[in-house]
A and B are shown apart, each in its own frame.
Chain A
Amino acid sequence: MNGLNETVASAQAVDISSPSGLVPEGLTSFLADVYSNGLLGLGLFLLLLALGLALHGLNMKRTYERVAATTNGGEVSRDDLREEMFVRQGSNFNAAAVTGWLLLFVALSYFYFLTPEIFPRYNYYQVPTLASGPLGFFAFGFVVLLLALGAAAFVPREFYGYYELSRRMKVAIMLTGPVLAISILLSVQQGTTFPQVEPASRLLAFLALFASELALLWPIYAEALGGMR
């Protein structure tokens, strides 16, 4: 069945790369290769995440070093600096950011682990009680939500609190919520119609997932990029 799915996916990928398609042919086939390769996609997702974490640490270290370098004696309390650096971003933003991060993990799980297409041995259909239950999809997402809750709740305070975020950036982060919801809905649609595969919506779900991840991590990347100048 997996072979059949890959064949269908390839055929559909060619369809959307036609002149009237959404994206150029080369890019489409590249993206199709990436999203249909589970290990590559997951690796990329984790790489972006790990890079974000590492750059956040680097940003904090760099700020400390610059403050210390411009302070007489060079002695600065890290705790005092963290306290001073902290900016209240607003509860609407914090709620939107937590939602965005929660949905990011749910969207990732739905994209890669809902149907057997990408990971035939590790997916929702391997748990018969869940897959045959009337609220199976929901339960699957809810479990992921609970697992991700701890990490997501920690993000606004530990990440965004230390950056001066423009309103535009905040809006971009807020918009990850609806964008990820679209990704989830498209994945759910795939799960509902499986084994039939709709490559265009698969591609869209993939793009929504990774664009959102980039948007959620962008303040950290932007600070790191600016700091390199």
Chain B
Amino acid sequence: MKLCIVGIGGCGGHLAERFLNNQDISLLKKSLGEHVSFGGVKGLWLEADVQETENQDFFGPLERGCYPGFFVPHDVIGSESKTSKLIVDRYGYDVKKQGFMRQAEFLKAVFEIFESDEDVKRTALSEHESENPILRAAWDRIRPYTTLTGPRDNNNGSEMCDGILFLVSLGGGTGTGFVNPITRYIRSERPAYPVFVLGVLTEEGTDPQQRAKEAKRDLGATISLYDLLTKRVGVGVDGVIVIDNQIMVEKFGQNYPAIDDYIHQAMKPFVAARHYPGEDPPSLAMREKFIEGQGLDHPPILVPCYFRDRRRKDPEENLVKKALSEGMLFGCDPAMAERAYVFTRGFVGLDKILGAVARQTGLAEDRIEPWRKLGENHADEILILLRNPYGEERGCEVKGNLEYRIHRVIRMALRYMDDPESNLIPDGMPDLTKTSLEDYFYGDDGVRDRLKVGLQRIEEGKKPFFLDERRIFERSNLNSGVLEPHRGGRKVDDEEIRRLVEEEVKRVLAERGL
């Protein structure tokens, strides 16, 4: 497995920098050779705020051939664009607005317009040769790092990525709003391509980085999580790895670079190379493991639990115990997990690690998937991704549970929606937009109602807590009603998908000599 790391927005960019940091040495910050990242990962940074890109020197503009590079997707829309003008006139949204105002619903609305308004689609197609030029441009920048453009090995020892990991902040602006549309866009072209999201939920109270109130951030996080978790399996992402910045802040204070370093360290077993011989599955096979099992209709929440210790004899029991107690990056009750995906670095026994995880979580061993890798610096590491570790009745009343934290986030989001000062339906917007936003937020079966249902389901210990997707313009007259696969890229029929999957499976089996 080799992942393409795509940081979206400010937080995503900071994290992506850790993942993509060059392991090679350089003179005066100039590397003459190929960029070598930990685990061989590749990637880029998608950012909506041009100023943010100017305040850093790690990423360079992709247009100038820089690597690692950043890309500002909405730059593909010119200032005199007819598409842009049509959207402003009809909906009041300026698609070139910097930073997207730290509102998840802004980007959600913009991309829904591209997906559902036939006039916008036609105009964009004639002007940009794509119905959704922003997402198309972003995907065109990601795709070259993946196996979708060529063979896995590019003949110089550098492998292409066979999966994508998006890094976003849940509660910011760009990351929160962009991750769902881009995932949907990729999925419409490549239904089986493995896509994961690592989302960092912003902390409670004041967050000096986001410069926004907790309730406002929580509404963004809730909308983003809602959209991520209500897609059907195979339509949305294959897993949402959640990290609670509240836990990180309690551990590191507001030293955000240290937090970013720790998150990268914790994810190293996931992205590292140097597998135990014969234990390197392609991402496609791993994806199947993440979404397998009866009753899983929606993408799972994955809670990471990490621990690192100096190498010692028989480390398995201690590693698992510490990871599941002091190493949780999002509070939860491990006993509620449906499955566990275990990534280790160091010398650990397969049976021992299975046994230890089974004992500590109560899971049957056939619900535990271990992947082992060689370690470094005389240390053993473990990362356990617990699948959907929630669902206890009244679990939301137990501090430290996933239900407790999510319940609080949803409550804060509802509070923000009910605050007259929130101005979620801005004055000056066209009636169409105002009506649609009103309906989306406050209408019958709108987000407000659905979040209340979500709260109730959490309290009752039901899974999943969010049920059906809700779109902003789904009841507007201009909506075609059906979200079609995008045009402008190449449309792929079922037969071709079947053929591609068969070829990939054959290739993998041949690689393994089966």
A interface residue numbers (CB < 8 A to B):
63, 66-67, 69-72, 76-77, 80-81, 83-85, 87-96, 164, 166-167, 170-171, 174, 223, 226-227, 229
Contacts and interface: CB of A to CB of B under 8 A. Distances in A.
Given A71-B350, A91-B32, A164-B274, 6 more contacts: A67-B347, A72-B351, A80-B277, A92-B26, A92-B27, A171-B25
Contacts of A87: 273-274
B378 A92 contact: no
A20 to B, nearest CB: 35
A70 B32 contact: no
A9 to B, nearest CB: 37
B31 A229 contact: no
Report the interface size class on chain B. Answer: 20 to 34
A174 B33 CA distance: 15
B264 interface: no
A92 B33 CA distance: 6
Interface string B33-60: 1101000100000000000000000000
Nearest to B316: A70
A92 B348 contact: no
Contact of A174 (B25, B274, B280, B377): B25
Contacts of A69: 347, 349
B23 A89 contact: yes
A67 B378 contact: no
A166 B377 CA distance: 9
A90 B354 CA distance: 36
B310 to A, nearest CB: 8
A96 B33 CA distance: 12
A90 B34 contact: yes
Contacts of B278: 80
A226 B311 contact: yes
B26 A84 contact: no
B33 A90 contact: yes
Interface in B348-362: 348-351
A85 B374 contact: yes
13 contacts: A63-B374, A67-B277, A69-B347, A71-B350, A72-B351, A84-B273, A87-B274, A90-B36, A91-B32, A92-B31, A223-B378, A226-B311, A226-B378
Contacts of B32: 91-92
B275 interface: yes
Interface in B487-510: none
Given A66-B347, A76-B277, A81-B277, A170 B25 contact: yes
B22 interface: yes
Contact of A93 (B25, B40, B376, B378): B25
A70 B349 contact: yes
